[in-house]
Amino acid sequence: GSEQLSIREDLSRCRQLMGYCPQFGGLQTNMTPREHLDFNAMIRGVPQNKRRATVDALLDKMDLKKYANRQAGRLSGGNKRKLSVAIALVGDPPIVLLDEPSTGMDPEAKRFMWGVLSATMAGRCLVLTSHSMEECEALCNRVGIMVNGRFQCIGSLQHLKARFGEGYTIDFRVNDVSMTEDLNDFVSHNLSGATLEAEHGTALSYKCKDVALSEVFDIIESGRARGIFADYSLSQTTLEQVFLRFASKQREEDSNGNIESKQPNTPSDMAYR
């Protein structure tokens, strides 16, 4: 609704309107999923006569009904994450904060989780942290990347790819390896910003920068008409590549407070929906 609350003066009420899924912990090992959800429904202010239906709906939504009365400590890692997300959704809060919601999940469970979250996004603000760019692309319409605790960029997926990406990737396939030299000559003379990234037999991949997309298609189609290659595919910079570009700037403080370089593999990033 249009209710406006102060986080200073109405903290208790604000907490009832926020769902939170921590990255680790948050579960009582000797309590069952049903007990967790019922307890949190009570805290969130769900009326007693609606708590049973609320709990049943969440157990069903997260595919936890068969484990409803099993102690949380005996659940698999994936089901623990499902339960943690279910707790965050109790009471249908307008704000949901998720910290690495799919950590430790197998690919099938992860996609199930994404489907549930996507289906519950309407009418609420969902904020999640993730190191999985695939997860960000699946769930988020706004993404921010943080390096050394500061935002380096924020915007839609397409904006970040266009603003911070490095052009396009063009994959060619020739009919015979003897034609690769002709293809290389064609690319070097017509796509001045293209560099060969990989070559595997009759498949060659180029990175292309500083050429308008419309021009790229015109040039490539002229080459195909001349029979220089059999077919091609063109793809935009991935969010993963944008992420790694910023990750290369990641630095950390040593014990003396000095900034030193860090391997670019674990920057913090935050995605917004």
Residue with tokens 């990175």: 207
Per-residue confidence (pLDDT) for residue 195, from 0 to 100: 86
95-99 and 125-129 beta bridge pairing: parallel
Per-residue confidence (pLDDT) for residue 251, from 0 to 100: 59
In this prediction, the residues of the chain whose per-residue pLDDT falls under 50 are 253-257, 259, 261-273
Per-residue confidence (pLDDT) for residue 53, from 0 to 100: 95
With contact defined as beta carbons under 8 Å apart, do 186 and 194 qualify?
A: no
Per-residue confidence (pLDDT) for residue 269, from 0 to 100: 45
d(CA 147, CA 167): 23
Phi, psi of 126 (to 5 degrees): -115, 125
Phi, psi of 109 (to 5 degrees): -65, -35
Per-residue confidence (pLDDT) for residue 255, from 0 to 100: 46
Per-residue confidence (pLDDT) for residue 169, from 0 to 100: 85
* Nearby residues of 179 by Cβ (< 8 Å), 6 or more positions away: 202, 228, 229
Which of 243, 266, 271, 241 shows the shortest CA–CA distance to 99? 271
Residue with tokens 């070559």: 199
